[in-house]
Amino acid sequence: MNHYPEVWGRPRDDIYGPYNSSYLQTTGPKTHTQSPAVTGTSVIAVKFNGGVAIAADNLASYGSLARFTDVKRLRVFGDSAVVGFSGDVSDMQYIDRLLESLDIRENYSTHGNMMNAKNLHTYLSKVLYKRRSEFNPLWNHILVAGFDEDKKPFLSSADLLGTTYSAPHLATGFGAHLAIPILRRLFPEEKPLEEISKGEAEAALRECLKVLWYRDARSLDKYSIAVITAEGVEIKEDQVIEAQSWAFAESIRGYGAQVN
């Protein structure tokens, strides 16, 4: 023990070499907005004949801790659009408030001119891009599902950099690795949208969520699924993954009794 409090409780210089105290520096730019804290994992979505289906589990993780298990990561906008969020949950709440006030403004006048999912996606991507340009990104990767101005199914993505892309099926986070291959097998590029039914799309999402529950350690077996059609949005927020079979896990190294 010496009379330099800043070295108390730290590795001794004489044994471990000089201590790198640069992280104690109090000046310099803020960095806490540049990494997420409480996060949601994958969102997955598929277009089908006459609409779009989108799903996400109900978990918000704090690091590896499954902190909140009843979180709604699908947000309905107006009567025909759904936004699915992965990434930082507090940033999601902020964006949700933006959407709320946008929705209120949209409803000031009553007749026609409702904002569609495509308009919404354009808006959100601009918000995300603006924030990344300020070095203060909103740490989210979002999917926007609904219809475009021609009433055709619309599905597009925007991430924390403001990058956008679109495809007949999309997934964020781990889903981009685990769900997309499944969706590509089920709905190959050459298969026209007209041949994909609502039921098939919904079943595919449930199947993907099950695989994610098996393999993504930050996922949950409780999830929400929304189906958007011309009739409106049908959202179910208390779904449970059924018919699980963990038999495959026996062959995984490090699982259960098998240690090596």
Partner 1 sequence: MARVPMQSLSSPQGRIFQVEYAQEAVKQGSVVVGLVNKTHAVLVGLKRNAEELSSYQKKIIEIDSHMGIAIAGLASDARVLSNYMKQQSLGSRMTYGRPIPVDRIVTQIADRAQTNTQHYGKRPYGVGLLVAGVDEAGPHLFEFQPSGMIHEMLACAIGARSQMARTYLERNLDKITNSTRDELITHGLRALKETLSQDKELTVDNTSVGVVGLAGEEGKGKIESFKLYEGQQLVPLLEAVESGETKEEETMEVDS
Partner 2 sequence: MTSIGTGYDLSNSVFSPDGRNFQVEYAAKAVENGGTAIGIRCKDGVVLAVEKIITSKLLKPGANKRIATVDRHVGIVSAGLVPDGRHFVSRARDEAASWRSVYKGPIPVSALSNRLGSYVQAYTLYSSVRPFGVTAIVGGWDSEAELAVDGQVGSGPKSGSGGKVDGARAGGPGLYMIEPSGLYWGYYGAATGKGRQAAKAELEKLDLSSGNLSLVDAVKEAARIIYVAHEDSKDKDFELEMSWISSLDGPTHGRHEEVPKQLLEEAEKAAKRSLEGEDEEEEEVAKDGPNQGERMEE
Catalytically annotated residues: 33
6, 134, 150, 242: residue in contact with partner 1 (rule CB under 8 A): 150
Among 126, 184, 191, 236, binds partner 1 (CB under 8 A): 126
Asked if 123 interacts with partner 1 (CB under 8 A), we say yes
Is residue 80 near partner 1 by the rule CB under 8 A?
Answer: no
**Closest CA relative to residue 202, chosen from 221, 178, 224:** 224
CA-CA-CA-CA torsion for 84, 88, 92, 98, nearest 10 degrees?
-130
CB of 95 to partner 2, least distance (A): 9
Tell me which DSSP letter residue 34 carries.
Answer: G
How far is residue 61's CA from residue 180's CA, in Å, rounded to a whole number?
23
Say whether residue 10 binds partner 1 (CB under 8 A).
no
Number of H helices, E strands in the chain: 5, 13
How far is the first Cα of the chain from the last one, in angstroms, to the nearest whole number? 43
SS3 per residue for 19-32: CCCHHHCCCCCCCH
Length of the chain: 260
Q: Which of 149, 195, 231, 250 binds partner 1 (CB under 8 A)?
A: 149
Interaction between residue 22 and partner 2 (CB under 8 A): no
Work out how close the CB of 121 gets to partner 1 at its nearest, in angstroms, rounded to a whole number.
Answer: 8
Nearer to partner 2, 43 or 46 (CB): 43
Instruction: Report the nearest approach of partner 2 to the CB of residue 104 (Å).
Output: 6
* Residue 79 interacting with partner 2 (CB under 8 A): no
**Pairing between strand 169-171 and 43-48?**
antiparallel
- List binders of partner 2 among 82-101 (CB under 8 A): 89, 92-94, 96-97, 100-101
What residues contact 203, with CB distance under 8 A and at least 6 apart? none
The answer to the question of residue 108 lying near partner 2 (CB under 8 A) is yes
Cα angle value 162/167/173 (rounded, 5°): 60
Give the one entry of partner 1, partner 2, none that residue 117 binds, where binding means its C-beta sits below a cut-off of 5 to 8 angstroms depending on kind: none
Q: Which stretch binds partner 1 (CB under 8 A): 147-155, 166-174, 209-217, 233-241?
A: 147-155
Nearer to partner 1, 121 or 210 (CB): 121
Phi, psi of 200 (to 5 degrees): -60, -45
Q: What interhelical angle do 89-106 and 117-133 show, nearest 10?
A: 130
164-166 vs 169-171, strand pairing mode: unpaired
Closest distance between partner 1 and the C-beta of residue 132, in Å?
16
114 binds, among partner 1, partner 2, none (CB under 5 to 8 A by kind): partner 1
Which of 89, 176, 160, 173 shows the shortest CA–CA distance to 124? 160
Write down the least CB distance from residue 108 to partner 2, Å: 5
What residues make contact with partner 2 under the rule CB under 8 A? 60, 68-73, 89, 92-94, 96-97, 100-101, 104-105, 107-110
What residues make contact with partner 1 under the rule CB under 8 A? 109, 111-115, 118-120, 122-123, 126, 149-151
